[in-house]
């Protein structure tokens, strides 16, 4: 597919004026509906990435758009200096959905993770009795939790980490999926274990069965908090509300983001135990937009969509279909497929093509997804996608691998 003059001009403008912190596929989207996006030249593509799972309910989901419009027409921002009539309802409904006791609202995913780190440290000093400034948080190799200075301090991805020092201390890294390493790393100063239930950016890595229940036990035995970063894995993506639900494990704190704002506005939250979130007192943490009325109204509509279980069910059933289709391509240009629900990490056979090459060939066939690292495609279509559309994408992938 050759880029039109129009597409080329948009891309040239981005390159000239925007900081070069991304390497997008050369497609310029101007409209979207459900699982489909349309570019400036009128070409349509199936969205197989969903804004890294922010668009779980599809582009411009009617219920969410209506909720946003109605709120925009009434009240947008109060700041938390005053109460508003949406905040408490959002917190109550989200706590109810997630089976948790208290909610801290923020904006982006990274802010939710930052908040969870601050809360875990404060809890360690004020409740657990860890000596001041000695608290440790156990994290995993190949983690991805966002881009702030503290978070990238414990990233082992050179692109995310290098040349941003000096780094925030207080993190201990153990191999992802190794419960005995978690146990061995726990000491008297350990405040929390912070990990993704399934690692997204690392290539949709599912830890071994039993890992999470072992980590839960290790945390319980040592009075350590379990903090699950469900920003990408949560809110129906894997076929359950939380990815941890597959393991029958509950976290003490969950970080949520992405789909919590329905792909309309950034909404994030830390949800969990009231005795842990309760360490925050007035003035000790906050954000001007955290819990603003528009975020709460959209978040409430998201909670309502999730409360029926319909999206969880779709992700489960259609996910099985997607994974069966992907597995049938193993040995035909694909070396491994991982994931759960409508979420897949697809390793391209190193003798065949790079992830970028396959992404480009898919684009030419009307399917948009994106490589992570050199050789892995990350697939996460909106949960409103239909079975036939998945088949269409699988056929395009088979062709792309064959070319």
Ligand X SMILES: Cc1ncc(COP(=O)(O)O)c(C=O)c1O
Q: Which residues are catalytic?
A: 144, 229, 258
Nearest-approach distance from CB 233 to ligand X, in angstroms: 7
Q: How far apart are CA 248 and CA 254, in angstroms?
A: 15
Report yes or no: 151 and 170 within 8 Å, Cβ to Cβ. no
The single residue among 35, 64, 116, 231 that binds ligand X, judged by CB under 6 A, is: 231
Q: How far apart are CA 235 and CA 283, in angstroms?
A: 30
Q: How far apart are CA 216 and CA 212, in angstroms?
A: 6
Cα 148 to chain centroid, rounded: 16
Nearest-approach distance from CB 111 to ligand X, in angstroms: 7
Q: How far apart are CA 18 and CA 12, in angstroms?
A: 10
Binding region for ligand X (CB under 6 A) out of 91-99, 210-218, 229-237, 282-290: 229-237
β-bridge partners, 337: 346
Strands (E), 163-252: 171-174, 190-195, 225-229
Verify binding: residue 145, ligand X, rule CB under 6 A. yes
Nearest-approach distance from CB 151 to ligand X, in angstroms: 8
Q: How far apart are CA 5 and CA 2, in angstroms?
A: 9
Residue with Cβ nearer ligand X (174 or 396): 174
The bridge status of strand 36-39 relative to strand 29-33 is antiparallel
Residue with Cβ nearer ligand X (369 or 401): 369
β-bridge partners, 26: none
HSE, side-chain direction, 13 A CA sphere, residue 281: 3
Nearest-approach distance from CB 290 to ligand X, in angstroms: 13
Verify binding: residue 229, ligand X, rule CB under 6 A. yes
The single residue among 36, 144, 289, 292 that binds ligand X, judged by CB under 6 A, is: 144
Nearest-approach distance from CB 265 to ligand X, in angstroms: 11
Residue with Cβ nearer ligand X (141 or 335): 141
Verify binding: residue 146, ligand X, rule CB under 6 A. yes
Nearest-approach distance from CB 196 to ligand X, in angstroms: 5
Verify binding: residue 110, ligand X, rule CB under 6 A. yes
Nearest-approach distance from CB 285 to ligand X, in angstroms: 17
Verify binding: residue 109, ligand X, rule CB under 6 A. yes
In this structure, which long-range contacts are made by residues 18-26, counting pairs with CB atoms below 8 Å and at least 24 apart in sequence? 25/359, 25/360, 25/363, 25/368, 25/370, 26/363
Residue with Cβ nearer ligand X (34 or 109): 109
Helix residue ranges, H only, 239-354: 274-277, 293-307, 310-327
Per CB under 6 A, contacts with ligand X among 175-214 are 196, 200-201
| 3-state SS class at 180 | helix
Report yes or no: 237 and 342 within 8 Å, Cβ to Cβ. yes
Closest by CA to 48, choosing from 305, 298, 374, 326, is: 326
Verify binding: residue 257, ligand X, rule CB under 6 A. yes
Structure tokens at 81: 């200096």
The single residue among 52, 168, 222, 304 that binds ligand X, judged by CB under 6 A, is: 52
Residue with Cβ nearer ligand X (178 or 201): 201
Binding region for ligand X (CB under 6 A) out of 31-39, 120-128, 142-150, 319-327: 142-150
Residue with Cβ nearer ligand X (316 or 378): 378
Count of residues of this chain found to bind ligand X when the rule CB under 6 A is applied: 15
Interacting residues toward ligand X by CB under 6 A: 52, 108-110, 113, 144-146, 196, 200-201, 229, 231-232, 257
């Amino acid at each position: 597919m050759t880029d039109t003059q129009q597409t080329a001009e948009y891309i040239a403008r981005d390159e000239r004026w925007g900081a070069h912190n991304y390497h997008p596929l050369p497609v310029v989207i101007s409209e979207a509906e459900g699982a489909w996006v349309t570019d400036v030249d009128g070409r349509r593509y199936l969205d197989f990435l969903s804004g890294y799972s922010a668009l779980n309910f599809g582009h411009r989901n009617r219920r969410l758009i209506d909720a946003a419009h109605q709120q925009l027409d009434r009240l947008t921002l109060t700041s938390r200096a005053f109460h508003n009539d949406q905040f408490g309802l959002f917190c109550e409904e989200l706590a109810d959905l997630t089976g948790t006791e208290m909610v801290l609202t923020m904006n982006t995913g990274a802010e939710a993770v930052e908040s969870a780190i601050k809360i875990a440290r404060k809890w360690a000093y004020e409740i657990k009795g860890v000596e001041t400034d000695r608290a440790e948080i156990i994290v995993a190799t190949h983690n991805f939790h966002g881009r702030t200075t503290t978070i990238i301090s414990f990233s082992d991805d050179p692109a995310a980490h290098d040349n941003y020092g000096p780094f925030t201390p207080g993190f201990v890294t153990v191999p992802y999926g190794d419960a005995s390493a978690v146990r061995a790393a726990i000491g008297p100063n350990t405040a929390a274990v912070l990990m993704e239930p399934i690692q997204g950016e690392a290539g949709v890595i599912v830890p071994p069965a039993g890992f999470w229940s072992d980590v839960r036990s290790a945390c319980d035995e040592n009075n350590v908090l379990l903090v699950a970063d469900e920003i990408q894995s949560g809110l129906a993506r894997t076929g359950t509300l939380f990815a941890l639900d597959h393991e029958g494990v509950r976290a003490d704190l969950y970080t949520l983001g992405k789909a919590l704002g329905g792909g309309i506005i950034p909404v994030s939250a830390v949800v969990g135990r009231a005795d842990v979130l309760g360490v925050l007192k007035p003035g000790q943490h906050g954000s001007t937009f955290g819990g603003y009325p528009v975020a709460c109204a959209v978040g409430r509509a998201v909670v309502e969509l999730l409360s029926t279980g319909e999206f969880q069910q779709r992700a489960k059933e259609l996910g099985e279909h997607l994974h069966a289709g992907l597995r049938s391509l193993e040995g035909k240009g694909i070396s491994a497929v991982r994931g759960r629900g409508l979420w897949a990490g697809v390793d391209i056979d190193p003798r065949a093509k790079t992830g970028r090459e396959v992404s480009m060939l898919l684009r030419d066939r009307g399917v948009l997804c994106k490589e992570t690292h050199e050789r892995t495609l990350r697939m996460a279509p909106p949960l409103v996608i239909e079975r036939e559309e998945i088949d269409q994408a699988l056929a395009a992938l088979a062709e792309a691998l064959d070319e």
